[in-house]
Amino acid sequence: MSRILVTGAAGFLGSFLCDRLLEDGHEVIGMDNRVSGQTENLEDAFYHDRFTLYEHDVTEFIHISGELDAVLHLASLASPVFYRDHPIKTLKVGALGTHKTLGLAKEKDATYLFTSTSEVYGDPEVNPQPESYRGNVDPYGPRSCYDESKRYGESLVRAYRDKHELDVRVARIFNTYGPRMRLDDGRVIPNFMKQALTGEDLTVYGDGEQTRSFCYVSDLIDGLVALLESDVEEPVNIGNPDERSINELAEIVLEVTGSDSGITHEELPPQDPQVRRPDISKVRSELGWEPEVSLRDGLRKSLGYFEERV
Ligand SMILES: NC(=O)c1ccc[n+]([C@@H]2O[C@H](COP(=O)([O-])OP(=O)(O)OC[C@H]3O[C@@H](n4cnc5c(N)ncnc54)[C@H](O)[C@@H]3O)[C@@H](O)[C@H]2O)c1
C-alpha cells in the first residue's frame, strides 16, 4: 500500500482517481479548495477509512505529516468558463500550486505526477499532435492564463527532475468527459447533454466543423495509473484519437438522449482551436495503454448522471 496525495480531489478527474487508488488498496489524502470542485464527488471515497480530505489552497504552503509515496497534482481551473472568470487563480494554481506541490514531493522523496493538457499545443498547425510538437499558443491571448500556466508547470516539473532528480510524470490530457462533470462548467459535452435533455437547442459555436477527440473518464484514469506506475519521465499524451467535428458530436448527443432539440449557431470564441487529436503512439508503445470506450458508449454510460442533474 502507498500513501498518495491527490490535489484537485473534489473535481471531476480527481475524484475518480481517488476512487481508483482506494480500490487498489492505497491510502489517499485528497486536497481541494472547492473553487470548482464538489464534495459530493467524493461520496464513494468517504466510505473508505483510508481516505482523508483536506480543504486547502495548493498555492499556499502545504504541510502533510508522515511519509508520502506520490503527489498527484490535478488542482486547476480546467474549463474555459472557470478560467475566464478566474484568470489570476488559474495562473497561480499552475505556477505557485505546482511549485508548492513539487516542493512537497521533494521533501518526501515522492513520485510527482503533473496533469498537463492538450492546450499546451494551442491552436495546432499539425494534426494529430505528437508530444514532440511545440505548440501554437498566444502568450497574451484570451486562453493564455490556462495554456501558459500549464506550459510553465511542465517547465517547473522538468527543472525539479533535472536539478533535484525528482521522479516525475507528465500527462498531457485531451478532452475527457463522463459523470461528475458540472453542468455549468461550459465544456461541450455537459452543455449539449443539458440542452438535449431539457429540450433546448444545442449551441454550436462557429460552423461546427472544428474537431475534438473525446476520451471517456474510466479510460483516462486507467492511463493516468499506468503512467504513474511506469518510469516514463517525458510528457505523454493521454486521450482518445477518435476525432469528431462538433456537428457530429451534436448529432450523436441527440441520438443517445433521444432528444428532438434543434441546433443553433453562435459566434466562435476568439482563438478556439480548430482541430484537436492526440497522437497516442507513445502511450501505446511505452505503457501498452489505449482507450476502449467508444464515444456513443461513453455518452450512454453518462446519460443517467446527466438525467439526474438537469
Ligand atoms: N477534464 C479534461 O478534459 C482535462 C483535459 C486536460 C487537462 N485536464 C487537467 O486535469 C486536471 C483535473 O481536471 P478536471 O476536469 O477534473 O477539473 P475540475 O475543475 O473538475 O477539477 C479541478 C479541481 O481543482 C480544484 N482546485 C482548483 N484550484 C485549486 C487550488 N488553488 N487549491 C486546491 N484545489 C484547487 C477545484 O476545486 C477542482 O475540484 C486539471 O489539472 C486539468 O487542467 C483535464
Whole-model pTM above 0.95? yes
Architecture of domain 3-176+215-241+279-287: 3-Layer(aba) Sandwich (3.40)
Cα–ligand 1 centroid distance for 62 (angstroms): 18
3-state SS class at 55: strand
pLDDT in tens, the chain (310 residues): 899 999 999 999 999 999 999 999 999 999 999 999 999 999 999 999 999 999 999 999 999 999 999 999 999 999 999 999 999 999 999 999 999 999 999 999 999 999 999 999 999 999 999 999 999 999 999 999 999 999 999 999 999 999 999 999 999 999 999 999 999 989 999 999 999 999 999 999 999 999 999 999 999 999 999 999 999 999 999 999 999 999 999 999 999 999 999 999 999 988 889 999 999 999 999 999 999 999 999 999 999 999 999 9
Is residue 129 lining ligand 1, measured as CB closer than 6 Å?
A: no
Pick the atom of ligand 1 nearest to 185's CA. Answer: 19
Per-residue pLDDT at 87: 97
Is residue 131 lining ligand 1, measured as CB closer than 6 Å?
A: no
Q: Rg for the chain (alpha carbons), in Å? A: 19
Is residue 115 lining ligand 1, measured as CB closer than 6 Å?
A: yes
Is residue 12 lining ligand 1, measured as CB closer than 6 Å?
A: yes
Of 196, 195, 177, whose CA–CA distance to 187 is shortest?
177
Per-residue pLDDT at 27: 98
Per-residue pLDDT at 185: 86
Give helix 188-197 / helix 246-257 axis angle, nearest 10°.
40
Pick the atom of ligand 1 nearest to 38's CA. Answer: 39
Q: Are 145 and 119 in contact (CB under 8 A)?
A: no
Q: Is the peptide bond before 273 cis (omega within 30 degrees of 0)?
A: no
Per-residue pLDDT at 1: 84
- Residues 151 and 134: their CA atoms lie apart, in Å, by 10
Nearest CA to ligand 1 atom 7: 117
Fold of the domain spanning 179-211+243-277+293-303:
UDP-galactose 4-epimerase; domain 1 (3.90.25)
Of 36, 39, 35, 29, whose CA–CA distance to 62 is shortest?
29
Q: How far is CA 243 from CA 86, 228, 274, 279, in A?
A: 30, 26, 12, 11
Domains 3-176+215-241+279-287 and 179-211+243-277+293-303 agree in fold: no
Which residues are known catalytic residues? 146
Nearest CA to ligand 1 atom 23: 8
Check the CA dihedral 191-289-31-179 and report its sign: positive
Domain boundaries, the chain: 3-176+215-241+279-287, 179-211+243-277+293-303
Cα–ligand 1 centroid distance for 259 (angstroms): 30
Residue corresponding to grid cell 484519437 = 241
Give the helix/strand (H/E) hosting 270. Answer: none
Cα–ligand 1 centroid distance for 57 (angstroms): 13
Cα–ligand 1 centroid distance for 78 (angstroms): 5
Torsion of CA 76, 86, 52, 44, to 10 degrees: -80
Nearest CA to ligand 1 atom 9: 115
